[in-house]
Structure 1
Amino acid sequence: MAEKEKMTVYIISDSIGETAYNLATAATVQFPEVEFTYHRFPLSKTTSLLAGILEQAKRANAFVVHTLVGKGLAGYVNQFCKDNNLYVLDGMSKLINTISQKTGLTPLYQAGRNHKLNKTYFNRIEALEFAVTYDDGKDPKGFLQADIVLLGVSRTSKTPLSLYLANKNYKVANLPLVPQTNIPEELWQVDPQKIFGLTNDPQVLNNIRKERLVTYGLNPETNYSNLENIEAELKFAEKLYKKIGCLVINVSNKSIEETATLITESLPL
């Protein structure tokens, strides 16, 4: 029996992403000979957040499906995909624009207006908003309220992973690790079983960071992408993980889903 062709699908939304997911799966089930892997990125409401997600999509040569309605977001994704030769399906813009032209009315550009306002919906929105609020260590108090705390140096998929887990109703906070910076006191008050240290292979991280700088039109050879500096960052993180006693996950060869499954299955009952 021939091995199935594989395709990665990135599903992006500025709401919870159900419409985009249903749209993608409604089409992909028509191709049973292909093995599809889905990565869902809900509440993607800023271009800075989208930039990180799209860089991952580029590395995975993914098919991008989105239902972004926020002003400028759809255009940003569509242009990125065009510039980087990624196939993209914009599930909302053309339909909204057509209705606007026919009626002469201006659309609201509000995400998530078609969802039923039930308890499950509100719980998911709460988890997603929590992940956005406590992303990148913005407020250390979030560590005390989180179901999961993610630690990692830059470009270890903390934010996309936080949003993926939030879509599973987990409240997630994350903290970027930089040597010579103070670790918030709140972190030491968290159950180590709820903390997960993300790491990566130095060379893989070196390539990811260089690609990131090139995307922004910057010189790829900087302290940020320097291999020795990256190795020092990873050693700093490893030392911290040992001190905390948390589970360490190398994300270099793992999908978002695989890493998320490792985390959820390791949580205390």
Structure 2
Amino acid sequence: MKQVIYAMSDSSGETSAGFARSMLAQFPTIEIQLKRFAFVKNVAEAQQILQQALTDQAIIFYTLTHREFDDLVKKFTWEHNILAFDILNPYLDKLEAYTHQKASHEIGAARKLNSQYFERIAAIDFAAENDDGKNPHSITRADVVLLGISRTSKTPLSFFLANQRIKVTNIPLMPQVQLPDEIWQIAPQKIVGLTNDEEVLQKIRQQRMIAYGLKPTTAYSDVHKIRAELQYADQIYQKLGCLVINVANKSIEEIAAIITNKLNLNTLGG
């Protein structure tokens, strides 16, 4: 039997996805396809996800701190006979009644010393060993290869994904430096090209120079140089045919959620 599972959240979606894993682990004969929808921002987006869940005949696990979203899901799933689990608000309501305290509605995730924990540590070690193109020969062993010019969040994103047990190599892109041969030997589905807006990237680089005690206006932060680097990166991404994400004004959590969803890295194993 196959079953589509939706993990839906207005945060990272780790809690709903983890709950789904724990529940469905009790049904080993069911083949699961997990789809995570994180950082739901408005009613229109929530409605689109619900319509897609109806088409997929999905079971929904969700954590929605916004009551408007929560009410929408409850109404829609009741009207369309969709099995759905609100794994946040019912328990918060009971705790509020019992403790006479107001819940903060902050979502957290438990960490246990189990096999997943050690897989997480191994992934973090892998990210450290392969940060900033240190070991290009490990590209073929990575779950994800991040490409990007300087200051496109490669390193923090690598370690954030490593905390989700995903092995990541990140490679800096520089027009004057040839890419490792290994990058052309792996499937483009494992590669993510990171880009940014010129203005945003210039500000970030200027701030970097100031942090080093230097003048903000340097060749490193020159808009013409940045434009050339971005164009070079775009050309590489087009040749590779990989997923491209503009990181401008996005949090690391949001970028990671896009990657895990687009590259189908949300699994129910472990």
User: By the TM > 0.5 criterion, same fold?
Assistant: yes
Unaligned residue ranges in structure 2 (runs of 5+)? 1-95, 266-270
Structure 2 counterpart of 1:184: 180
Q: How does 1:21-36 map to 2 (within 5 A)?
A: 32=103
Q: How does 1:209-224 map to 2 (within 5 A)?
A: 209-224=205-220
Structure 1 counterpart of 2:131: 135
**Structure ranking higher on relative contact order (CA contacts 8 Å, 6+ apart):** 2
Deviation at 1:120, TM superposition (A): 2.1
Contact 1:134 / 1:142 at 8 angstroms: preserved in 2?
Answer: yes
Deviation string 1:183-236 (CA, Å, 9 cap, x unpaired) is: 100000111001000000001000000001101111211111000000000000
Matched, 1:251 2:247: yes
Structure 2 counterpart of 1:168: 164
Following the alignment from structure 2 to structure 1, what is the Cα–Cα distance between the partners of residues 106 and 163? Answer: 19
> What is the percent sequence identity of the aligned residues?
55
Contact 1:153 / 1:178 at 8 angstroms: preserved in 2?
Answer: yes
Following the alignment from structure 1 to structure 2, what is the Cα–Cα distance between the partners of residues 211 and 175? Answer: 23
Deviation at 1:32, TM superposition (A): 4.6
Runs of 4+ in 1 over 3 A off after TM superposition: 29-33, 35-38, 115-118
Deviation at 1:254, TM superposition (A): 1.3
Computed over aligned residues only, the root mean square deviation of the Cα atoms, in angstroms, reads: 2.4
Change (3 A) 1:36 1:223: farther
Match of 1:121 among 117, 128, 152: 117
Following the alignment from structure 1 to structure 2, what is the Cα–Cα distance between the partners of residues 155 and 221? Answer: 16
> Given the two structures, how large is their TM-score scaled by the length of structure 2?
0.57
Following the alignment from structure 1 to structure 2, what is the Cα–Cα distance between the partners of residues 243 and 181? Answer: 16
Give the AA of the match of 1:119. Answer: S
Give the AA of the match of 2:191. Answer: I
Following the alignment from structure 1 to structure 2, what is the Cα–Cα distance between the partners of residues 183 and 154? Answer: 15
Match of 1:200 among 196, 200, 213: 196
Following the alignment from structure 2 to structure 1, what is the Cα–Cα distance between the partners of residues 257 and 167? Answer: 15
Q: How does 1:60-71 map to 2 (within 5 A)?
A: none
Unaligned residue ranges in structure 1 (runs of 5+)? 1-28, 41-114
Matched, 1:152 2:148: yes
Deviation at 1:36, TM superposition (A): 6.0
